[in-house]
Amino acid sequence: MTAFIVGKWYRVDLRQQKSRNLGARNAGRVLGRLAFVITLLGDALKGILVIILGQVMDFEQWILAIGMLFVIVGHLYPVFLSFHGGKGVATFIGAGLYLEPILFIWMIVGTLLLFIFVRNLTVGMLGGFTLYIASIIWEGNMHTYSGVILSICLIIWKHRSNLSRINGLSNQ
């Protein structure tokens, strides 16, 4: 939703530009760094607010994880934009940072290390998400964080065209 608002401010419909995605990455490609930063922060703030509100209301972790899932689904499929939203990464960044900071840091480290080796952010992110899920399973918190795991699966699903393109490049 932030990318839509930023695009309106610039008088550009990001749904018709470059990747046609309402996310920070497309906003940055089309409108520049400032649009990227504003969109990233705005989308991350949605995730942060859901977790902080849940913590203030003293909700259990599994409810916070479900809240994370709902805010990401709302970002991916916004009703007011005909169910055409972003890919959920920035919203996950905000929610993930506040829900489980240590796991989030491991995810970022995994993403950056893989990015350094393969020079592809989508592949790096996929590795970081895999590390996040593996950490949840390792700690035995699958039931508590099933909402997080479903969120990651949805985000990866939304990136399937990126992953197909990467796979096509590697097969050439």
Overall average pLDDT of the 45-74 stretch: 98
Percent of the chain with pLDDT over 70: 97
Overall average pLDDT of the 57-85 stretch: 96
Tell me the pLDDT band of 166, cut-offs 50, 70 and 90.
confident
Q: Nearest-CA neighbor of 162 among 121, 127, 128, 129?
A: 121
Contacts 24+ apart (CB under 8 A), 72-78: 72/47, 72/151, 72/154, 72/155, 73/154, 74/46, 75/1, 75/43, 75/46, 76/154, 76/155, 76/158, 78/1
Is pLDDT above 90 for 70?
yes
Overall average pLDDT of the 21-49 stretch: 97
**Amino acid in position 19:** S
pTM: 0.91
Token digits of residue 89: 């990464």
The residues, any chain, with a CB within 8 Å of residue 30's CB and separated by 6 or more, are 7, 12, 14, 17, 18
Q: Residue 49, exposed/middle/buried by CB under 10 A (0-12, 13-18, 19+)?
A: middle
Is pLDDT above 80 for 168?
no
Domains: count for the chain: 1
- Is 20 within 8 Å of 14 (Cβ atoms)? yes
Q: How far apart, in Å, are the Cα atoms of 29 and each of 71, 136, 172?
A: 25, 34, 26
Window from 112-116, 124-128, 138-142, 164-168 with minimum mean pLDDT:
164-168
- pLDDT score recorded for residue 161: 83
- pLDDT score recorded for residue 172: 46
Domain range enclosing 61:
2-170
d(CA 14, CA 16): 5
Is pLDDT above 70 for 43?
yes
- Kindly report, residue by residue over 117-146, the tens digit of the pLDDT: 999 988 999 999 999 999 999 988 888 999
Residue 142 backbone phi and psi in degrees, to 5: -60, -40
- pLDDT score recorded for residue 169: 62
Overall average pLDDT of the 39-43 stretch: 98
Token digits of residue 163: 């992953």
